[in-house]
Amino acid sequence: MIKYPYHLFIGDAQDKAAAKVARGIKDWRPDRVVGQISLPGCQTDLGIDELTVEDAVKHGARTLVIGVANRGGFIAESWKPVLIGALEAGMDLASGLHNLLQDEPDIVAAAERCGCQLHDVRVPRAEYPIANGQRRSGKRCLGVGTDVSVGKMYTMLAMHREMASRGIQSTFRATGQTGILIEGNGVPLDAVVADFMAGSIEWLTPANENDHWDMVEGQGSLFHASYSGVTLALIHGAQPDALILCHDASRHRMRGLSGYRLPTLTQLSEVALTMAQMVNPDCRVIGVSINTSELSERDAAKMIEDVGKDTGLPTTDPFRYGPDILVDALIG
């Protein structure tokens, strides 16, 4: 069990997307956060108090969470003074990076010396089966993106919250480090051995009551040369009944692959639906989620209107304007 309140380490993150773990926790579990701590050269801010390790402890922080998601998921040497300092101040450490805390001898030694715990969220905690592709009861909704880090998790969380407020049976299913830190459980999909990835999602979204919805956190993008594999495994394991197309309005090039342009929403719809209907012929695309966080109010409203007209689908920014029309389309 990861102890909270959390102190969020954003290190030397160069943009908002690089601090997506910290931002997700701050946006969806603000009651569990005391502040942030950054390093010189950091290019983003969560809009919360900047606190030293010592001040965070005074405010009750019990765990320093590494809120940075850098390419490759490694622990930089420049972070170590803060990470070890947090342990020496009595805080536990939690991380969702591929580079595990337990594999860093100096961090392990500090934790043992100080009697603190290390939490590597990206370590699978169950024996996952190989997918069998068999249909199962219950319903599942999945967010698929034109790129990585475009708002797939935010979309599912926003819809899940709205469904809960309406009394609709719904469960948010976390498949990445941020979602797991928010929800408290899930599958760290990109750390699962390839043969078992789809099976782990079958395990995560078991048979359920016919009117129950699993809102499944999306990962990667079918169009991203680095991360398409995890997306396909997620689609086939979830056997979604409904897909939400997710897009960042400010993005034109693939994150980390500047030589690749983003697909259109039409291209995303066609490819994702083809893959989904291999395992669920009844799957349909029911709406579009646009991340407009970098746009003005006027530009955001116009883009949502234009995309809705172009696609013929219910379209909104569920975090900015609410997910009502997406939920209506899902259950209608």
Give average pLDDT by consecutive 10-residue segment, the chain, 332 residues: 95 91 96 97 96 98 94 90 98 95 97 97 93 97 97 98 98 96 93 97 98 98 97 98 97 94 98 98 98 97 98 98 98 92
* Model pLDDT, residue 184: 87
* Model pLDDT, residue 125: 85
219-222 long-range contacts, CB within 8 A, separation 24+: 219/152, 219/175, 219/176, 219/189, 219/190, 220/145, 220/148, 220/190, 221/144, 221/145, 221/146, 221/147, 221/148, 221/150, 221/254, 222/144, 222/268, 222/271, 222/272, 222/275
* Model pLDDT, residue 32: 96
- Nearest CA to 39 out of 56, 48, 52 is that of 52
* Model pLDDT, residue 325: 98
* Model pLDDT, residue 219: 97
* Model pLDDT, residue 66: 97
* Model pLDDT, residue 1: 82
199 contact partners, CB below 8 Å, separation of at least 6: 128, 129, 130, 131, 132, 237
128 contact partners, CB below 8 Å, separation of at least 6: 187, 192, 196, 199, 200, 203
Amino acid at 241: D
Residue 251 in tokens: 């993005």
pTM higher than the cut 0.85: yes
Residue 250 in tokens: 């400010």
Residue 66 in tokens: 């590494």
> Is-contact 147 221, C-beta < 8 A?
yes
Residue 208 in tokens: 């359920």
For 268-304, the pLDDT digits (tens) are: 999 999 999 999 999 999 999 999 999 999 999 999 9
* Model pLDDT, residue 72: 78
- Nearest CA to 140 out of 59, 207, 226 is that of 207
